[in-house]
Structure 1
Amino acid sequence: MSTIRKACHADSPRLWQLRIDAILSGCRGHYPESLLKRWTEGELTTEFVNHVRDHFWVIEQSQRIIASGTIDLDSGKLDAIFVCPSAMGTGAGRKMVTHLQQLAVDAGLAQISLEATLNAAPFYRRLGFKGETTSLYHSPRGFSLECMVMHKLIRKAAGTCSPSMNVL
């Protein structure tokens, strides 16, 4: 059985490694090896540790973190959705997205969005996300990678009316 919980400072090293493993496993074949190397090289930073503490959620199973994710409840943007390679295809990613979506609903948001890696776009489409526009994600590490800008309506916006016809 797995549980979702807010990440804590001590989770940072495991989440750093989860990120690396998920990128190297899931993105291989969709991006050049040289880009994957740049994306995953380097050491755990204080900035990442603070981001984990402040924003990350994790799914834990048998005292092992198998998935992560974040949501900005001001913008509705999901990010850092990573799944351990051995847990890919088991529903952990779906469970994390569903949890983040519920946080957005609870916060009163009408839409959520994300920038999907090319390999993950079909997964997000199966979860109801729309979008075919490719964009470039510009990493603070000095490289760019192609991604898909996607969004999902999660509730009808307040004050939205059905179209009507005015007859004069």
Structure 2
Amino acid sequence: MLKIKRATPNDANAAFDIRREAIRSQCIGAYTAEQMALWTRGKAEDGYSALMEKPFYLGWIDDKPVATGMLDLDNREVGALFVLPQFTGRGYGKAMLDHLEDVARAREIGEVVLDATLNAASFYRACGYVGEQQAIYHSPSGLALACIPMRKRIG
């Protein structure tokens, strides 16, 4: 069973590693090798570690972090939902998403949004999110990636 805990600044490197491995494994075919290389370069200290100050969570199996997820309260946005490749298909992504939605509900947020990667849009649709139109996500590092903006009423 996935145990979800609030991340601390000490979890930044583990969270960054989960993100990198998930992108490199699960985004093949949806994005070019060059895009994925640019998207996953660097290290947590390059800005990713600042996300630990938000409601950022790690999902643990035994003593190993295997999933991440974040809720940006200012924008009502779900983000950073990643699962290590060897742990996909076990419901851990859904468990993390459910947890983030529960956090949003507890803060009386009635609707959440997200920018789904092209490979993850069907997962989010299966979880009740709606959105079909492709857009461009502009990352803080300047990378532009195709995405599908989605939303879900949760309140």
> Given the two structures, how large is their TM-score scaled by the length of structure 1?
0.88
Residue 50 of structure 1 and its aligned partner are, at CA, apart by 2.6
Query: Unaligned 5+ residue runs, structure 1?
Result: 156-168
Q: What is residue 122 of structure 1 aligned with on the other side?
A: 122
Change in CA separation of 1:54 and 1:113 when aligned onto 2, cut-off 3 Å: closer
- Equivalenced residue count is 155
The Cα RMSD (Å) is: 1.2
Letter in 1 for 2:77: K
* In 2, Cα distance between equivalents of 1:115 and 1:44: 21
Q: What is residue 84 of structure 2 aligned with on the other side?
A: 84
Aligned runs of 1:143-162 on 2, under 5 Å?
A: 143-155=143-155
Residue 90 of structure 1 and its aligned partner are, at CA, apart by 0.5
Question: For residues 139-162 of structure 1, what are the alpha-carbon distances to aligned partners after superposition, in whole Å with 9 as ceiling and x for unaligned?
Answer: 22222010000000112xxxxxxx
Q: Does structure 1 retain, via aligned residues, the 8 Å contact 2:2–2:95?
A: no
Query: Unaligned 5+ residue runs, structure 2?
Result: none
Q: What is residue 61 of structure 2 aligned with on the other side?
A: 61
Aligned runs of 1:8-157 on 2, under 5 Å?
A: 8-45=8-45, 47-155=47-155
Query: Structure 1 residues 130-139 or 37-46, which shifts more?
Result: 37-46
* In 1, Cα distance between equivalents of 2:47 and 2:32: 26
Letter in 1 for 2:126: R
* In 2, Cα distance between equivalents of 1:140 and 1:70: 16
Three-state SS of the structure 2 residue aligned to 1:149 is strand
Residue 40 of structure 1 and its aligned partner are, at CA, apart by 0.7
Letter in 2 for 1:131: G
* In 2, Cα distance between equivalents of 1:121 and 1:5: 25
**Percent identical residues:** 35
* In 1, Cα distance between equivalents of 2:27 and 2:61: 24
Letter in 2 for 1:18: I
* In 2, Cα distance between equivalents of 1:42 and 1:106: 34
* In 2, Cα distance between equivalents of 1:24 and 1:2: 23
> Given the two structures, how large is their TM-score scaled by the length of structure 2?
0.95
* In 1, Cα distance between equivalents of 2:74 and 2:52: 18
Q: What is residue 5 of structure 2 aligned with on the other side?
A: 5
* In 2, Cα distance between equivalents of 1:53 and 1:107: 17
Residue 46 of structure 1 and its aligned partner are, at CA, apart by 5.3
Letter in 1 for 2:120: A
Larger radius of gyration: 1
